[in-house]
Amino acid sequence: MGLGEKLIEMKNISELMIDLAYSSLIYDNREIAEEVKYLEEKIDESYNQIIDESIRQAVEEKKPETAGIIIRLATSIEAISDSAAQIGDVVLRNIKPHPIIRESIKESDITIVLGVVKNSSILANRTLGELNLASETGMWVIAIKRGGKWIFGPTENTRILPEDRLIAKGPIEGVEHFKRLCVGIDKKL
Amino acid sequence: MGLGEKLIEMKNISELMIDLAYSSLIYDNREIAEEVKYLEEKIDESYNQIIDESIRQAVEEKKPETAGIIIRLATSIEAISDSAAQIGDVVLRNIKPHPIIRESIKESDITIVLGVVKNSSILANRTLGELNLASETGMWVIAIKRGGKWIFGPTENTRILPEDRLIAKGPIEGVEHFKRLCVGIDKKL
């Protein structure tokens, strides 16, 4: 994986961490908060690799410019993921958020919602890529709870199964349609 | 505005700042980077108000718990916005990002795209609320350039006009449709 790709992977994970951190807060869910903490450790590893590799390349190619920007960006992204971990930490410390905070997040223009997939749902047994859920409905699945386990940051190849619990992020206008898709009332995206 | 609402406003601005910071990087655009810097100052003001007000309320109502969580969250959100400002600062310092970084961001699962609205576009002369653009297409308008001026973080009441330049965030599968909507080739959301 090249430096550019590694940096973008860091960027994507840091954004997922922010969404998961707020999700852990809304649903007062320790497991999601633990995942944020785990991702923070992964980010730290990537950060250190990126710093070392970019300096190594700069020396080898005698080009200091690229290393400068990559290190600045990686440092900012690392700081964003630190902050997301701090938000998750509120949940891990068993501090109960005041209901007004939860409700306010739920009523944001961009919100986070939970849907349980029924057998009769058109989402069941199809991959996120086949469904194009995000571009068709605006709702972006950020995590799936299946049985006792979580899938965090599902990809286009992730298949949705009946009984999956989906956590999605998207515009508040899309929430009702998303819930109706999950339970099988709405039959079209 | 209550403390919960103020905190959510901070959260929303911090997320807008991250998106704008990456936009400024992709389009090497100083004006967007300047807006990120301006928003950082606004966030600092809100942060200080929230800290003071939450402590004042805690003392008045003799309830320390809520202040504790609000201050933790506000501090994390403030740190996220600082990091976004640092990303924008790369552009303000005239450091040219390596093309690979720009291209990598554009190829992310969630990407940022620019569209110019033609007269014949079905987006023209309608508000974002009327269009439900985000829930219908997955593409979320984060900024509009109209004439020489910018509208950052448009609301559902913002009306799109012909010749507007829209910066939108959304799933990469939604990009082509979004561009075709802007130029008037696609006539349906």
A64 close to B (CB below 8 A):
no
Measured between CA atoms, how close is B47 to chain A, in angstroms?
15
Confidence grade of residue B151 (pLDDT, cut at 50, 70, 90):
very high
pLDDT of residue B109: 81
Nearest alpha carbon to residue A149 among A139, A128, A163: A163
Q: Considering only CB atoms, which chain B residues are within 8 Å of A110?
A: 12, 15, 140
> Region A43-72: what's the mean pLDDT?
92
A47 close to B (CB below 8 A):
no
pLDDT at A99 over 80: no
pLDDT digits 0-9 by tens, A104-125: 778 778 889 999 999 999 999 9
Angle, helix B64-92 to helix B3-26, in steps of 10 degrees: 20
- Tokens 């079905």 sit at which residue? B122
pTM: 0.92
pLDDT of residue A92: 93
Mean model confidence pLDDT for chain B: 92
ipTM for the complex shown: 0.90
> Region B74-91: what's the mean pLDDT?
96
Q: In whole angstroms, give the CA distance from residue B11 to residue A23.
A: 13
Q: In whole angstroms, give the CA distance from residue B1 to residue B11.
A: 15
Confidence grade of residue B3 (pLDDT, cut at 50, 70, 90):
confident
Cβ–Cβ below 8 Å for B86 and A75: yes
Confidence grade of residue B4 (pLDDT, cut at 50, 70, 90):
confident
B10 close to A (CB below 8 A):
no
Cα B48 to Cα A27, B14, B44, B55, B70, distances in angstroms: 28, 15, 6, 11, 12
* Cβ proximity of A117 and A160 under 8 Å: yes
Classify the C-alpha dihedral A51-A55-A60-A64 as positive or negative: positive
Residue A152, Cβ density class (10 Å: 0-12 exposed, 13-18 middle, ≥19 buried): buried
Residue B119, Cβ density class (10 Å: 0-12 exposed, 13-18 middle, ≥19 buried): exposed
Query: What six digits make up the tokens of B146?
Result: 């109209």
Percent of chain B beyond pLDDT 90? Answer: 76
Q: In whole angstroms, give the CA distance from residue B178 to residue B180.
A: 5
